[in-house]
Amino acid sequence: MVHRRELNGTELLFGNQGDLWGNAMTWWDHDTGSVWSQPRGEAILGPRTGERLELFPSALTTWEAWRDKHPATLALNVPGWATGFHLEEMAVVIDRGTEAAGYLVVPLREAGVVNDVVAGLEIAVAIDPHDPARWAVFSRRLDDTVVELEMIPEGLRDVAGGTVFDPFLGTGLSGPLSDQSLDRLPAFTSFPADYVNFFPDGRRWPEG
């Protein structure tokens, strides 16, 4: 997940605090020494307790899947090791502040796309049918229209109007609204048990 470091006009400098809270990383800011929760982007201890950082859209995916859609991307090439995070074991989480929802990846892959409403905002959670490592969360609002989306081999299709959108980028590919794009929303992946820890009142899809 990616957060904006600017808060109330101040650019914060963070370090790894070294402890886990809710089985997730914590940071500390050099300015006040406040401790922050990584998944929530929220200060949980210190002078800034309760303040939150803005979350940017991002994705946990493979380098191959990312480079296919973003061939000009530059990346830091350093020695590393295989990640222990496997997407099929996780949930895609959208946190709108007043409401959160988590979507289990395996049934999401089977469904292709889930149309939902979180904190009053019509959203779609989608996994690219051509690459199960690519996922995205979009707003379903286009100007004054709210679209209902379905997944077809060509991409995300507006059921009523027939416009097809790229399931990872949200850009229009064909149809009457092909000059428009779906707005990508901030979301992140989490292990389901950790999601419950951080968002005990959050919804889970599918239910049960």
- Per-residue pLDDT reduced to its tens digit, 99-140: 999 999 999 999 999 999 999 999 999 998 888 888 999 999
pLDDT at 41: 86
Higher pLDDT, 62 or 194: 194
Mean pLDDT (whole number) for 48-69: 82
CA distances from 102 to 58, 118, 121, 127 (A): 16, 10, 15, 14
In the predicted structure, residue 81 carries a pLDDT above the cut 80:
no
What is the pLDDT at residue 123? 97
Looking at residue 18, its pLDDT comes to 84
Q: Could you tell me the pLDDT band of residue 197, with boundaries at 50, 70 and 90?
A: confident
Q: Taking residues 183-198, what's their average pLDDT? A: 91
CA atoms of 142 and 148, how far apart (whole Å): 11
What is the tens place of the pLDDT at every residue in 15-57? 988 888 877 888 999 999 999 888 788 899 999 999 988 888 7
User: What's residue 11's pLDDT?
Assistant: 93
pLDDT digits (tens, 9 = 90+) for 137-183: 999 999 889 999 999 999 999 999 999 999 999 999 999 999 999 99
- The per-residue DSSP string of 1-38 comes to -EE--EETTEE--EEEEEEESSSSEEEEETTT--EEET
What is the structure's pLDDT at 208? 59
